[in-house]
Amino acid sequence: MTKRLVPTLLVSALLASGCSFIPQLERPAAPVAASYPAANAASTSKAAADIPWQNFFADARLQQLITLALDNNRDLRVAVLNIEQARAQYQIQRAAQFPELGVAAQGSRAASTDGSGYVNTYMVGLSMPSWEIDFWGRIRSLKEQSLAQYLATEEGRKSTQISLVAAVANAWLGLQADEELRAISQRTLQTREESVRLAKLRFDAGASSELDFQQARSLTENARATLAQQTRQRDLDINALTLLVGQQVPAELLASLQGKRLADLPALADVPEGLPSDLLLRRPDIRQAEQSMVAANASIGAARALFFPNVSLTAAAGFANTELSDLFKSGSTTFSIAPSIYLPIFTAGRNQANLEVAETSKKIAAAQYEKAIQTAFREVSDALVSRESLVEQLRAQQAQLEAESSRLNLSNLRYTNGVASYLDLLDAQRSLFTLEQAVVQVRLAQLQNQVLLYKALGGGWTETTQTAAAPAAAAPAQ
Q: What are the E-state strand segments in 260-396?
A: 310-321, 333-342
Residue 262 to residue 448: CA distance in whole angstroms: 11
Q: pLDDT tens for residues 267-313? A: 998 888 888 888 888 899 999 999 999 999 999 999 999 998 988 88
Buried b (16+ CB within 10 A) or exposed e, 158-178: bbbbbbbbbbbbbbbbbbbbb
What is the arithmetic mean of pLDDT over 246-250?
94
Residue 221 to residue 192: CA distance in whole angstroms: 9
- Domain map (residue ranges) of the chain: 20-97+135-308+350-461, 100-133+309-342
Q: Which helix (H) or strand (E) holds 131?
A: strand 118-133
Whether the Cβ atoms of residue 459 and residue 56 lie closer than 8 Å to each other: yes
Whether the Cβ atoms of residue 340 and residue 312 lie closer than 8 Å to each other: yes
Closest CA to 315 of 102, 14, 16, 94: 102
Question: Would you say residue 477 has pLDDT above 80?
Answer: no
Residue 455 to residue 164: CA distance in whole angstroms: 10
Residue 122 to residue 454: CA distance in whole angstroms: 71
Residue 473 to residue 478: CA distance in whole angstroms: 15
100-133+309-342: CATH number: 2.20.200.10
Question: Would you say residue 42 has pLDDT above 60?
Answer: no
Q: Which of 61-75, 122-136, 428-442, 453-467 has the lowest mean pLDDT?
A: 453-467
Q: What residues form DSSP beta bridges with 125?
A: 104, 318
Q: What is the pLDDT of residue 227?
A: 95
Q: Which helix (H) or strand (E) holds 126?
A: strand 118-133
Residue 354 to residue 351: CA distance in whole angstroms: 5
Residues in the chain, how many?
A: 478
Q: What is the pLDDT of residue 327?
A: 73
Question: Would you say residue 444 has pLDDT above 50?
Answer: yes
20-97+135-308+350-461: CATH number: 1.20.1600.10
Q: Which of 11-20, 184-193, 258-267, 399-408 has the lowest mean pLDDT?
A: 11-20
CA atoms within 13 A on the CB side of 418: 2
